[in-house]
Homo-oligomer: A and B are copies of this chain.
Amino acid sequence: MKMNKSPSIKRLPFYLHELRVLANDGKKSVSTTYLSNLLEIEAIVIRKDLEMTGAKGEPRVGYNVLKLIERIQKFLGWASSYDAYLIGAGSLGTALLGYEGFTDYGLNIRAAFDIDPKKVDHIIHNKPVYDIQSLKESIEESGIKLAILCVPTSVAQVVTDIIISAGITAIWNYSYCTLQVPDYVVVQRVNLAGNFALLSMRMAEGKGATKSSVSARKNQNTTDPTSSDIIESKA
């Protein structure tokens, strides 16, 4: 049984999302063939991924939707919520503050920190924004271990050093730079550029296909959730 494969892990949230929709619709069970059609991922791939979570299906029937949701959530550690601080409430940080989908990941942004006096001590998307001066103290007092880093590249390393010294052990890095951190700190890096690189390569290939030359067959292959656009650290 495979235990920790990144491509598989990255696909799990897709299953989870669809399963929640199904659960909402009152569906009791679901087959991998059904999910396969929905997500355009091969059924055998889905089955292998689910195996990793320890989920058990029933031949001829499929998987129990609620049990499967529970399994995946537990496997990902999304059953309970991670508290986090968001650092840098610029345009990207503000967008993330407003992203309600994070609760689906079991992620709870408790507060944001910024240097801009116009933002400090205000509320953005229902989250308090504090002065970055108080960041170290807040981390120490709250015991929060996870930081979402959205500061400019120029200060990313300095801020990183500070938050690590305050007790942060996991960083979701939206700043476009390689952070120097001690071994025990986990950094997960967002790589929008890499994602766009894949898109532009595929646009460039083109294969001469234009709208008019295209067959009318069922659309497919538009999404290969094997890879993605954000970078992770080694385990």
Q: Is A217 an interface residue (CB 8 A)?
A: yes
Bound-complex Cα distance A98 to B222 (A)? 28
Q: How far is the CA of A94 from the CA of B199 in the complex (A)?
A: 21
A44 / chain B contacts, CB cutoff of 8 Å: none
CB distance from A179 to the nearest CB of B (A): 6
How far does the Cβ of A156 sit from chain B's closest Cβ, in whole Å?
13
| Interface 1/0 per residue, A206-235 and B, CB below 8 Å | 000111011111011111111111111111
Binds B, one of A7-15, A26-34, A60-68: A7-15
In the complex, A104 has a CB within 8 A of chain B = yes
Within 8 A of B (CB), among A142-201: 145-146, 167, 169-170, 172, 176, 178-201
Of B78, B167, B222, which one neighbours A185 at CB under 8 angstroms? B222
Residue pair A10, B199 in contact (C-beta under 8 Å): no
Interface size on A, residues (CB 8 A): 92
> Nearest CB to that of A124 among chain B residues?
B91
A204–B146 CA distance with the chains assembled, in angstroms: 12
Chain B residues within an 8 Å CB radius of A169: 203, 209-211
Asked whether, in the complex, the Cβ of A195 is within 8 Å of the Cβ of B94, the reply is no
Q: Which residues of B contact A180 (CB under 8 A)?
A: 219, 222
In the complex, the answer to whether A76 meets B195 with C-beta atoms within 8 Å is: no
The answer, yes or no, to whether A39 is at the interface (CB within 8 Å) is: yes
Chain B residue contacts of A227, Cβ below 8 A: 6-7, 10, 227-228, 231-232
Residues from chain B with a CB closer than 8 A to the CB of A209 are: 169, 183-184
Q: Is A107 an interface residue (CB 8 A)?
A: yes
Chain B: CB-nearest residue to A186: B202
Cα A98 to Cα B99 with chains together (Å): 17
| A125 at the binding interface (Cβ < 8 Å) | yes
| Partner of A197 from B9, B145, B194, B223 at Cβ < 8 Å | B9
Instruction: Contact check, A78 vs B10: say whether CB atoms are below 8 A apart.
Output: no
Interface set of A (CB-CB < 8 Å, partner B): 4, 6-7, 9-14, 17, 38-40, 76-78, 82, 90-92, 94-99, 101, 104-107, 125, 145-146, 167, 169-170, 172, 176, 178-205, 209-211, 213-217, 219-235
